[in-house]
Structure 1
Amino acid sequence: MSNIPPAGMSAAEWQTRQELAACYRLAWHFRFTDLIYTHITARVPGEDGHFLINPYGLSWDEITASSLVKIDVDGNKVADSDYSVNPAGFTIHSAIHRTSHDAAWIMHTHTRAGVAVSSLEAGLLPLNQIALQFHGRIAYHDYEGIALDLGERERIVASLGDKPVLVLRNHGLLTTGATAASMFNTMFYMERACEIQVATLSMGQPLRKVPADVADHVATQYQSSMGEEDDVLLEWAAHLRLLEKIAPDYRD
């Protein structure tokens, strides 16, 4: 990534913009997108109440660092931009950005597998090793309609609590993180867990769920040894190398 920001922009904001644009391009590559809808957002370092969001109308494979829109928690643009912002995206993301200082990065998707699992009463089931990394780490929020009501923001935050994953029932998935790497890693494997669950249920055979004590043990293993930040950063570096091959213009 270039470390030279545009005139008048801090180096910290430019780095955040490039990493956020990378998240959009990676989500497009892995088919996590919903055309021009849903969002990935990041808090602007050193600017209380400001965050970056995708320009409404651009496909995720078109998004670049400079095209991202900077807004405040009330939805007002705080820097010049030719683009508007999707109100529904503002509602969900601003709910968390305005209250949760740990969730500097937020990703929300409407993937086929994610929406399918969000529509099940049981949500994500403890069926396999990948799903078990989320054992005890998922919160659920009941569907209230298209997220245009600002009054829902407090309820979204209350539902999320201290969990890194929020399943928006009948709607989709949401993951958070202190860094782009941790947020994207969480969504990547949450999506994979949902895909595996949909495939498993489609076979119509009796389910073999993991016993509760084993599920607890595996979740502890993930937290203590398998999910270390160094591993996540290695994974993120691999993602960025991929982008350098297929879409290096995300940095522009």
Structure 2
Amino acid sequence: MSIPPSLKDRVSASEWQLRTDLAAAYRLTALFGWDDLTATHISVRLPGPEQHFLINPYGMLFEEVTASSLVKIDLAGNKVGDSPYPVNPAGFTIHSAVHANREDAVCVMHTHTINGTAVSAQEEGLLPISQQSAAVLASLGYHDYEGVALNEAEKPRLVRDLDSNTYLMLRNHGLLTVGRCVADAFVAMYVFESACMVQVRAQAGGGKLVRVPQAIVDGMRRQIDQSTLGNGLGALNWPGLLRRLDRRNPGYAE
């Protein structure tokens, strides 16, 4: 795919900022090794009553995504406006279900990471054996596997299983996070994936696992709020993540 012309002067400042953050999230996903070739998506809802969204151009690797190459679509996954890039409407099935039912889910992020998928295949799911898992378990739902996400009838069940949570484990499939901004959804995925990585490695050690008491899990939201001075993990970490990306894979804000 060729490099697209910049859209910076052709869209609103608010849309350009969302495009820049979303492109950064795609490239950071690749940088952390969470991408799955051209599979999975990160979507963001644009401001306004139109219910328009941004998503990756189908066929472009996550490490190649730029702010201008992101495609604007409607709630059905159809392209809005002129774009030379194709989209995968079926890939937006999960995302559209969440966006349509969660006003706070400005960004929806879905991955097929090795660690996340491995834990999603375990009957007990995520275990309370680390600080990261305790943070996730304070706001986690589970959704049973129904095959490739093509069936519109699956949407109500997915929304039900996510409920008001930040994290959703898609059994036998992968991980999903939501956030009020791109930074929140991305950092939530970092915590989710870290919790799964710790679990897989701890289980590989073969010893008896020590579980975090439920009372501590129940208090994790309050503790995270205190430890981040009320700013949240996304706002605290996002500027540094962008600096890392600028050093290792610049060009996303084009």
Q: Which runs of 5+ in 1 are unaligned?
A: none
Report the counterpart of residue 210 of structure 2 in structure 1.
Answer: 208
Cα contact 1:69–1:79 (8 A) shared by 2: no
* Amino acid across the alignment from 1:8: R
Distance 2:86 2:7 in 1: 23
Work out the percentage of aligned pairs sharing the same amino acid: 48
**SS of 1:55 mapped into structure 2:** coil
Distance 2:232 2:216 in 1: 26
Cα contact 1:55–1:67 (8 A) shared by 2: yes
Distance 2:209 2:8 in 1: 55
Distance 1:47 1:19 in 2: 21
Cα contact 1:140–1:168 (8 A) shared by 2: yes
Cα contact 2:225–2:232 (8 A) shared by 1: no
2:237 is the counterpart of 1:235: yes
Q: What's the TM-score, normalizing by structure 1?
A: 0.93
* Amino acid across the alignment from 1:151: A
Distance 1:19 1:99 in 2: 23
Q: CA deviation at 1:218?
A: 4.1
Q: CA deviation at 1:203?
A: 1.2
Report the counterpart of residue 75 of structure 2 in structure 1.
Answer: 73
Q: CA RMSD in A?
A: 1.7
Q: Which runs of 5+ in 2 are unaligned?
A: 1-5
**Residue-by-residue CA offset, 1:127-170 (whole Å, 9 max, x unaligned):** 01121112230011111110011121121111111001111111
Report the counterpart of residue 245 of structure 1 in structure 2.
Answer: 247
Distance 1:57 1:167 in 2: 25
Aligned residues: 249
Identify if the C-alpha distance between structure 1 residues 246 and 133 changes in structure 2 by more than 3 Å, giving closer, same or farther: same
Q: CA deviation at 1:219?
A: 4.7
Report the counterpart of residue 196 of structure 1 in structure 2.
Answer: 198
Distance 1:244 1:204 in 2: 40
* Amino acid across the alignment from 2:240: A
Cα contact 1:132–1:219 (8 A) shared by 2: no
**SS of 2:136 mapped into structure 1:** coil
Match of 2:91 among 89, 92, 103: 89
Distance 1:102 1:218 in 2: 20
2:169 is the counterpart of 1:170: no
* Amino acid across the alignment from 1:130: Q
Distance 2:148 2:234 in 1: 33
Q: What's the TM-score, normalizing by structure 2?
A: 0.93
Report the counterpart of residue 221 of structure 1 in structure 2.
Answer: 223
* Amino acid across the alignment from 2:71: V
Distance 2:75 2:220 in 1: 38
Q: CA deviation at 1:231?
A: 5.0
Q: Which aligned runs of 4 or more in structure 1 are off by greater than 4 angstroms?
A: none
Distance 2:95 2:152 in 1: 11
Distance 2:131 2:194 in 1: 11
Match of 2:121 among 119, 122, 126: 119
Distance 1:55 1:5 in 2: 15
**SS of 1:65 mapped into structure 2:** coil
Report the counterpart of residue 36 of structure 2 in structure 1.
Answer: 34
**SS of 1:145 mapped into structure 2:** coil
